[in-house]
Amino acid sequence: MRGKCLFGPVWSRRLGSSLGINLTPYKTCDLDCVYCECGVTTVLTVRRKEYISPEEVIENLARYRESLRFREAPPSYLTFAGFGEPTLNSGLGKIVRFIKEHFPQSRLALITNGTLFGYYPELFAEVEGVDLLIPSLDAGLETTFEGINRPHPSLDFGRYVQGLIRLREHFRGEIWLEVFIVEGLNDTEQEIEALKEKINRISPHRVHINSVDRNPAEDWVRAPSWERLQQIAQVLKGEVIVSSPACVLSPSHP
């Protein structure tokens, strides 16, 4: 999987048959989440560039489109996911345009931590062709954000949240917000109320509550009880989704 820009298609509970598209080298991200199933972030950066060239991705997509596997069973979704944060790749918009032109029978999804929408206004135009955005918000308080997501030092929590609010205002497709719950970090009443306030301002179409299901980056990470996850889902007006992606970097379960 390392070094590949396409993987799958795999079966996803949320998306059905999904072809994954990876746009960064292994573990290149602007967050170092304690729960990430892919391990700790090795390149912590907020710099956008062509980490994997759009030409390489497009060439692989074109080859896949001509394959017998695609002709017999086109995937329900083409999904930007993989081993790093997809929006770090500055060629994202070019790849989106190619997919919308050449894969009209499939929908396009982007799994992202959502942090960069508050910093790069051009991203709003780049994702215009995406049908479904699945960003993350794991904290209602800045200290919790720092503890669970371990962001690049230049990232500001308030700006991150404001970027998600602006995304909802600009984006014409669906937004499913994912909240990953870690026992002892963001499952307190105070934290959940703060999360609720921010989710209300973002106003996503759906809220998905997730927790650890596979090996996390830090071995002390634990999931709350199923009962507690259900309680949190009621407060946040969401649904519990466990054993779907453990993070936006999951190459196996978009």
Pick the CATH number of 6-240 from 3.90.550.10, 3.40.50.300, 3.20.20.70, 3.20.190.10: 3.20.20.70
Of 152, 147, 129, 130, the residue nearest 187 (C-alpha): 147
Residue 243 confidence (pLDDT)? 53
**pLDDT < 50 regions, the chain:** 1-3, 244-254
This prediction's pTM = 0.91
Q: Could you report the per-residue pLDDT of 126-178, keeping only the tens digit for each?
A: 999 999 999 999 999 999 999 999 999 999 999 999 999 999 999 999 999 99
